[in-house]
Amino acid sequence: MAERERRRTPPYGGVFVARSEILDSAAVRRAIRRMAHEIVEANEGLLDTVLVGLQTGGVPFAEAIAESLMEIEGVEVPVGKLDVAFYRDDINLRPVLPEAVTEMNIDIARKTVVLVDDVLFTGRTVRAALDAIVDQGRPRTVQLAVMVDRGHRELPIRPDYVGKNVPTKRTEAVNATVLGVDLGEIQR
């Protein structure tokens, strides 16, 4: 989500240009497996745990974590897909369009919801996601898993599971997919 977000932030346009690779696909896979172990440890049994990937960047990570959880515990954890565009606080400041349609065919009431996103930056997407989640029901707890925490928080939000902490400059950009994590810039 983070990359497209910046693409649509004024002045618009531009492409992500990688400068250095931070994690390759094997390292990403190891990080995902470690996060899955941490999730199991924190939520014994995973009985009432659901994963919710944020559209669209967080979804492949949510699915990958679910796969790892299956391997580790043999439990099938449901995965939802949440788009938070209509909950954002910057609708009047920049063009906010949905990434993809929300698919939440799971009842999250009294569940442990683990929000999953690719990159944690200002925290505003997660803030919007918390509002969106509450509209779907009242979870017992909400946790946050991100592949990359790049700092620069503007809200009191912290992740529970982090794939990799990457110190960045504000002007830089991070592109995180299950195939690897790159640091670079948006060039116009």
Partner 1 sequence: MRQLISTADLSRADIDDLMVLADSFAEVQTRDVPKVPALRGRTVVLAFFEDSTRTRTSFDLAARRLSADVLNFSVASSATKKGESLRDTVETINAMGIDAIVVRHRSSGTPIQISRWTDAAVINAGDGWHQHPTQALLDAYTLRQRLGDIDGAKIAICGDINHSRVARSNVDLFTKMGAEVTLVGPQTLMPPDISGWPVTISHDLDSLLSEIDVMYMLRIQTERLSAGLFPTVREYRSRWGLTVQRAGELRSDAVIMHPGPMNRGVEIDPEVASEPRCVVLDQVASGIPVRMAVLYQVLGPGRFANEEAAVDRPDVEESNHSVSPTDGSVEAEPDTKQAMAMKEASCQ
Q: Which residues bind partner 1 (CB under 8 A)?
A: 10-13, 15, 17-19, 21, 24, 83, 85-87, 91-92, 94-98, 101-103, 131, 135-137, 180, 182, 184, 187-188
Which residue, 69 or 183, is less far from partner 1 as judged by CB? 183
For residues 171 and 181, give the distance between their C-alpha atoms in angstroms, rounded to a whole number. Answer: 17
Smallest gap from residue 64 Cβ to partner 1 (A) = 21
Smallest gap from residue 135 Cβ to partner 1 (A) = 5
Smallest gap from residue 36 Cβ to partner 1 (A) = 26
Which residue, 13 or 75, is less far from partner 1 as judged by CB? 13
Smallest gap from residue 148 Cβ to partner 1 (A) = 16
Which residue, 11 or 156, is less far from partner 1 as judged by CB? 11
CA 35 to each of CA 23, 39, 40, 66, 68: distance values in angstroms, whole numbers, following the listed order? 15, 6, 9, 11, 9
Which residue, 9 or 141, is less far from partner 1 as judged by CB? 9
Which residue, 27 or 70, is less far from partner 1 as judged by CB? 27
Please answer whether residues 153 and 122 qualify as being in contact, where contact means their C-beta atoms are separated by less than 8 angstroms.
yes
Beta bridge partners of 15: 187
Burial per residue of 57-83, b for 16 or more beta-carbon CB atoms within 10 angstroms, e otherwise: bbbbbbbbbbbbbeeebeeebebbbbb
Write out the two tokens for 38.
């941490």
For residues 138 and 136, give the distance between their C-alpha atoms in angstroms, rounded to a whole number. Answer: 7
Smallest gap from residue 50 Cβ to partner 1 (A) = 16
